[in-house]
């Protein structure tokens, strides 16, 4: 298009744009076009869009010498439109921005205005849109616009804020163009650099490790491109500040690791002379001073930086000066290894190992030898396990350098006893050194540490150490590349060397090889076991092939080794059990292979050591795979002696559970417990003969033993509960019927040979309650089984407690005492069950109310003191269950708290308990002391819960404690007849009996101590206590607390409250020999000692 036509076009564009914009009312133009207008808005926007596109196209054909004043006017009008466009006109906005961007890039008149607009709008969009990649690219393409903006101008303050937000925006930090832009921002203005660094420091806590790595790269690239004032500012404000922070920050700081990550990036770039020069200059004023700082953590941090940056020297120095500098730094490293604090020695150890690994070939042998000798010395540093651990954690770094292998191969055997170090982390780190040495082929681990020692440690050590030893020994005892026969030979060797270690080794073996190899080892062991019984049995039907019997025969093994091999098979099966469940074919294959030899194994391996693993092996398979054995398991359980050890029946019960035959075991237990009950008449006996096919006497004790085992182990308990409610409900009913046996023991002291033992009846009573809890949790949607437990509570209250309250007569005092003790045992057993019900959250308010009522009835009975420990545990669980979160406490102030009634009862019962303990100490001092000691755990737990309540009613608990302690101590002071008897106590042992016990419980917990002292202060401030004896008693209590060194602030506050009351007695005591005078002076002295803390 000719120049005249272009200019005519641009002139008409101005007129068209002017006319179309005038069709809009003034308000619409000024207020963002939000008012209805006569012209069609869509038509207007279409025309404006067309003008914009033509203007943009015109810029592409603009030639030198063209007069574009009309085009400039069009651009100004479109720029004005841009500021008032609504969000719905996004396409038009993009077109106008494209025009502004093109205007800037063409460097036309007034480009700064258009460039600034395009840049700021793009920057704002890049921070708000979900996918900002395109906008970030546009921002980078316009980054030169910033050079035309004045950083100090108020007009650009908003732009500066948005630029700082870019450092908080992950998409900017990760995007390549975003990184280029952020690097460029360091060169915008020198004054902007501190603002950038401050923003990064504030955000550093929230950066991930990956994000920190991106920020680190941005810092380094900005430093690399900078020069002049910008370079100086980046080094001093940013890099050196990060170095200083890496030295001064505590290691527990959330930004410590991230600051270290940034600084380490610069250390890794030391190969560049410019970086080396910068590190030398920046570390010079801060690092060497920090290495000798009084604070050990500063020295430790500086030691790490020093090692990572080593050697720190000026690359422009001559060689002799560099050697002298490095020698001084090596001397510094040795001094750090000798530091008095273990944290510094640990950090220095790590640092020296990094230095040796990096610079081994540069050091003379004497320096290397000196450092390694010091390492060997620190490896046995008896003063710090951390230092010893640091040595072994750092040595693998040295082993990375092949030049270190010859000397370490000679030195490491001197540390072989570190395998038996008292610290677990040291032992684990030592084994890691052996593993590293094996990996890099630097040494033979058996030359460093004997295999027998490794196996001995494997047998007894913890999981972290054991798994490392298995990693070290795995290829030695499980050579996967060798034939399977060799695997088995190594297995036998390991068993013979250390059976316990063999168990551990094969427990972890599945972590180091495929499940298929584990299965092949099991089959290889099976072949060896088969060969052991070939001598006496024809195994043609169970051998895998003729190949097994040909060639080299397996050696015959003794019974102990056979038992250990069976144990290994069991352990291996457990490790691949999940894999077998996922592979049906493999599982069926293993079932078939082991199933057809199990009967032979049971016949041939009759030793007791072999029986347990054989039974466990059978439990992994379905009963059809071991028909001969599975048919006799229930009979074996039935014929078991009542006093059988767990090893005799535990595996049999596991078998029944794994086979899904729990119902049969429950039926056996139910039958025995039912049969053991006293029968009335012969009819019941004839009915039971139909059900029991084997004539075996009832064994209620063994039934309870089975029941206890089934419910105490998670795997068996889940199987039992999966049986369903029917059999368990029947068992529950039978257990409940034993209450009559307990009552018969209570009501009749005479011995009846047909009546079950009282201990058995008590155990049944306990399991009835426990089974009720299980049934309530698993099967009841209402409160059916809670009602059952409540009925038992009523039975205890109505039938059992009267025997505790029964007065002891002179004629049958021994029988009455036994009855009281039995009634107390029954009550205590039931309260223990109720404690567990409340603990697991099954109790509701009705249940809790009834149990608290039972507790109160129990305590007021004559022998109720025997149940104090059980009642305290109930109170603790009720208080815990009623705890209300702090945010809800304000809501409870305006309404009746449903838990307050229960807690009021709890506080009342606690008061009764304290009175009961005091009464028992007065009547029977020795028995009272035993009772107090038995109550200590329950008291401690209850007070720990009570102190968390800052309001009534549990605050009354500490009022009760305070009152009883002061009353007891005041009573002792009142009995004083001579001034010489005035002795201020120093420990709880110097206090009266009950006060001694209560204070020992209170002082166990700082929180409880503070709550108690708060009660002391509030009571004194209310002026309820004012007598001299009471104040002296309080000060004696405070003196005991003072000697423990706890809660000094609360202690001084309580002492200040005493001081306000004590000064009233200053003029009432005149005679220096008068007891009140002595009491006053002693109190003042004690008070001053407390206030002077």
pLDDT digits (tens, 9 = 90+) for 237-288: 999 999 999 999 999 999 999 999 999 999 999 888 899 999 999 999 999 9
pLDDT interval class at 7 (50, 70, 90):
low
Distance CA 633, CA 614 (A): 13
pLDDT tens for each residue of 366-424: 999 999 999 999 999 999 999 999 999 999 999 999 999 999 989 999 999 999 999 99
pLDDT interval class at 37 (50, 70, 90):
very low
CB 796 within 8 A of CB 827: yes
Single out the residue of 407, 416, 408, 406 nearest to residue 448, CA to CA. 416
pLDDT interval class at 1044 (50, 70, 90):
confident
pLDDT interval class at 541 (50, 70, 90):
very low
CB 1093 within 8 A of CB 1051: yes
pLDDT tens for each residue of 473-530: 999 999 999 999 999 999 999 999 999 999 999 999 999 999 999 999 999 999 999 8
Name the burial class of residue 540, with classes exposed (0-12), middle (13-18) and buried (19+) by CB atoms within 10 angstroms of its CB: exposed
Over residues 449-464, mean pLDDT: 93
- Quote the mean pLDDT of the chain: 83
**DSSP per-residue string spanning 754-823:** TSPPHHHHHHHHHHHHHHHHHHHHHT-SSSHHHHHHHHHHHHIIIIIHHHHHSPPPSTTHHHHHHHHHHH
**DSSP per-residue string spanning 146-192:** GGGS-TT-GGGHHHHHHHHHGGG-HHHHHSHHHHHHHHHHTTT-TTH
Does the structure show a pLDDT above 80 at 151? Answer: no
Distance CA 675, CA 1065 (A): 77
Distance CA 617, CA 607 (A): 16
Q: Which two tokens stand for residue 865?
A: 């003191």
pLDDT tens for each residue of 103-144: 666 666 666 667 677 788 888 888 888 888 888 888 888 888
CB 34 within 8 A of CB 28: yes
Does the structure show a pLDDT above 90 at 537? Answer: no
Instruction: Give the torsion sign (CA, 809, 815, 819, 821).
Output: positive
Angstrom CA distances, 162 to 120, 134, 532, stand at 9, 18, 82
pLDDT interval class at 31 (50, 70, 90):
very low
pTM: 0.75
pLDDT tens for each residue of 40-88: 667 666 766 666 676 666 666 565 655 556 666 666 666 666 666 665 5
Single out the residue of 895, 894, 898, 914 nearest to residue 959, CA to CA. 914
């Amino acid at each position: 298009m000719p120049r005249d036509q272009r200019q005519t076009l641009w002139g008409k564009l101005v007129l068209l744009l002017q006319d179309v914009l005038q069709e809009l009312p003034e308000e619409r133009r000024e207020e963002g076009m939000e008012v209805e207008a006569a012209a069609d808005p869509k038509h207007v926007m279409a025309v404006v869009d067309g003008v914009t596109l033509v203007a943009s196209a015109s810029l592409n054909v603009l030639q030198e010498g063209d007069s574009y004043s009309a085009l400039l006017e069009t651009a100004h009008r479109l720029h004005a439109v841009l500021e008032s466009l609504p969000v719905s006109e996004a396409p038009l906005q993009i077109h106008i921005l494209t025009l502004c961007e093109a205007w800037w890039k063409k460097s036309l008149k007034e480009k700064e205005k258009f460039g600034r607009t395009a840049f700021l709008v793009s920057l704002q969009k890049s921070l708000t849109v979900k996918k900002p990649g395109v906008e970030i690219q546009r921002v980078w393409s316009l980054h030169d616009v910033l050079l035309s903006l004045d950083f100090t101008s108020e007009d650009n303050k908003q732009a500066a804020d948005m630029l700082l937000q870019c450092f908080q925006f992950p998409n900017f930090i990760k995007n390549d163009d975003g990184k280029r832009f952020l690097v460029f921002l360091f060169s915008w203005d020198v004054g902007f650099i501190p603002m950038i660094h401050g923003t990064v420091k504030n955000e550093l806590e929230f950066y991930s490790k990956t994000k920190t790595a991106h920020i680190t790269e941005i810092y380094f690239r900005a430093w690399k491109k900078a020069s002049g004032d910008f370079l100086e500012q980046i080094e001093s404000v940013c890099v050196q500040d990060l170095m200083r922070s890496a030295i001064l920050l505590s290691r527990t700081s959330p930004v410590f690791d991230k600051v270290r990550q940034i600084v380490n990036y610069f250390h890794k770039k030391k190969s560049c002379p410019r970086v080396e020069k910068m590190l030398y200059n920046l570390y010079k004023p801060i690092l060497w001073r920090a290495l000798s700082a009084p604070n050990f953590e500063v020295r430790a941090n500086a030691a790490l930086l020093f090692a990572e940056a080593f050697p720190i020297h000026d690359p422009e120095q001559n060689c002799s000066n560099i050697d002298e500098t490095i020698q001084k730094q090596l001397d510094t490293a040795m001094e750090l290894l000798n530091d008095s604090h273990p944290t510094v020695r640990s950090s220095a150890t790590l640092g020296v190992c990094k230095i040796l690994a990096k610079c081994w070939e540069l050091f003379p042998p004497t320096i290397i030898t000196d450092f390694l000798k010091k390492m060997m010395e620190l490896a046995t540093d008896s003063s710090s396990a951390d230092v010893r651990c640091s040595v072994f954690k750092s040595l693998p770094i040295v082993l990375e350098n092949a030049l270190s292998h010859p000397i370490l191969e000679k030195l490491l055997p001197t540390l072989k006893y570190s395998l038996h170090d008292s610290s677990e982390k040291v032992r684990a780190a030592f084994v890691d050194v052996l593993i590293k040495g094996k990996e890099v082929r630097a040494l033979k681990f058996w030359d460093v540490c004997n295999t027998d020692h490794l196996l001995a440690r494997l047998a007894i050590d913890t999981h972290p150490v054991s798994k490392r030893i298995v990693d070290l020994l795995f290829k030695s005892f499980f050579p996967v590349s060798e034939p399977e026969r060799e695997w088995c030979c190594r297995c036998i060797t390991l068993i013979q060397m250390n059976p316990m270690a063999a168990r551990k080794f094969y427990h972890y073996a599945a972590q180091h090889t495929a499940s298929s190899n584990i299965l092949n080892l099991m089959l290889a062991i099976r072949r060896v076991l088969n060969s052991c019984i070939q001598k006496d049995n024809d195994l043609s039907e169970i051998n895998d092939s003729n190949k097994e019997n040909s060639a080299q025969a397996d050696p015959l093994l003794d019974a102990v080794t056979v038992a250990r091999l069976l144990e290994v098979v069991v352990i291996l099966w457990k490790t691949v059990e999940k894999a077998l469940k996922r592979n049906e074919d493999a599982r069926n294959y293993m079932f078939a292979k082991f199933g057809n030899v199990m009967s032979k194994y049971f016949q041939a391996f009759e030793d007791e050591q072999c029986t347990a693993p054989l039974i466990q092996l059978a439990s992994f398979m379905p009963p059809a795979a071991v028909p001969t054995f599975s048919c006799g398991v229930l009979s074996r359980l039935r014929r078991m002696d009542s006093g059988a050890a767990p090893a005799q029946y535990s595996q049999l019960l596991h078998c029944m559970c794994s086979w899904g035959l729990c119902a049969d075991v429950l039926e056996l237990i139910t039958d025995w417990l039912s049969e053991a009950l006293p029968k009335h008449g012969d009819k019941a006996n004839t009915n039971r003969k139909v059900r029991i096919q084997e004539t075996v006497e009832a064994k209620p004790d063994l039934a309870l033993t089975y029941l206890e085992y089934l419910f105490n182990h998670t795997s068996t308990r889940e199987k039992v509960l999966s049986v369903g409610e029917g059999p368990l409900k029947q068992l529950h009913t039978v257990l409940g019927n034993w209450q009559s046996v307990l009552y018969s023991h209570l009501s009749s002291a005479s011995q009846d040979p047909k009546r079950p033992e009282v201990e058995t009846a008590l155990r049944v009573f306990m399991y009835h309650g426990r089974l009720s809890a299980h049934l309530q949790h698993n099967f009841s949607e209402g409160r059916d089984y809670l009602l059952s437990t409540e009925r038992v509570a009523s039975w205890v209250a109505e039938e059992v407690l009267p025997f505790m309250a029964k007065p002891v007569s002179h004629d049958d005092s021994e029988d009455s005492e036994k009855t009281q003790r039995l009634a107390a045992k029954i009550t205590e057993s039931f309260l223990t069950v109720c404690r567990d019900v409340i603990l697991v959250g099954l109790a509701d308010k009705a249940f809790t109310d009834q149990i608290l009522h039972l507790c109160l009835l129990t305590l007021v009975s004559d022998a109720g003191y025997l149940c104090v420990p059980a009642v305290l545990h109930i109170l603790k669980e009720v208080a815990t269950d009623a705890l209300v979160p702090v945010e809800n406490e304000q809501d409870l102030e305006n309404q009746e708290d449903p838990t307050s009634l229960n807690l009021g009862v709890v506080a009342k019962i606690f008061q009764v308990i304290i009175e009961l303990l005091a009464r028992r100490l007065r009547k029977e001092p020795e028995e009272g002391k035993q009772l107090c000691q038995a109550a200590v755990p329950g008291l401690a737990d209850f007070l720990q819960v009570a102190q968390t309540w800052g309001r009534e009613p549990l605050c009354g608990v500490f009022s009760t404690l305070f009152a009883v302690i002061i009353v007891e101590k005041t009573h002792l002071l009142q009995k004083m007849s001579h001034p010489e008897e005035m002795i201020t106590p120093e420990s709880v042992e110097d206090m009266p009996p009950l006060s001694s016990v209560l204070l020992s419980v209170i002082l166990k917990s700082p929180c409880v101590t503070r709550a108690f002292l708060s009660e002391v202060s509030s009571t004194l401030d209310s002026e309820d206590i004012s007598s001299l004896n009471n104040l002296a008693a309080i000060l004696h209590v405070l003196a005991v607390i003072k000697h423990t060194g706890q809660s000094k602030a609360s202690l001084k506050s309580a002492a200040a409250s005493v001081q306000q009351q004590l000064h009233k007695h200053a003029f009432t005591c005149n005679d220096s020999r008068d007891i009140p005078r002595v009491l006053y002076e002693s109190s003042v002295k004690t008070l001053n000692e407390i206030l002077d803390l």
